[in-house]
Amino acid sequence: MLYLLYIFISILIIVTTNLAVTAILSIRDAYRNHLKDHSSFGTAFKKYFGKNNNIPLHLSDWKF
């Protein structure tokens, strides 16, 4: 039963790391391009977070 906990924790670490890296890349892209795009930092962050994210966050994006 303990192995299920280990699997859950490892998946949680992988997803958290992926979202952290995506957020860092989005902040970098937002700072570089928000003046060029003529948008606020929040709007630019949302745009580049969606562009850089490789894990689908909506259930409809998952293909079973």
Taking the C-alpha atoms of residue 41 and residue 30, their distance in angstroms, rounded to an integer, is: 6
Taking the C-alpha atoms of residue 22 and residue 32, their distance in angstroms, rounded to an integer, is: 15
Q: How confident is the model at residue 59 (pLDDT cuts 50, 70, 90)?
A: low
Does residue 62 have a pLDDT over 70?
A: no
Is the entire prediction scored with pTM above 0.75? Answer: no
Q: What is the pLDDT of residues 8-40, one digit of tens each?
A: 999 999 889 888 888 888 888 888 877 787 878
Give the domain ranges of the chain: 2-52
User: Which of residues 13 and 50 earns the better pLDDT score?
Assistant: 13
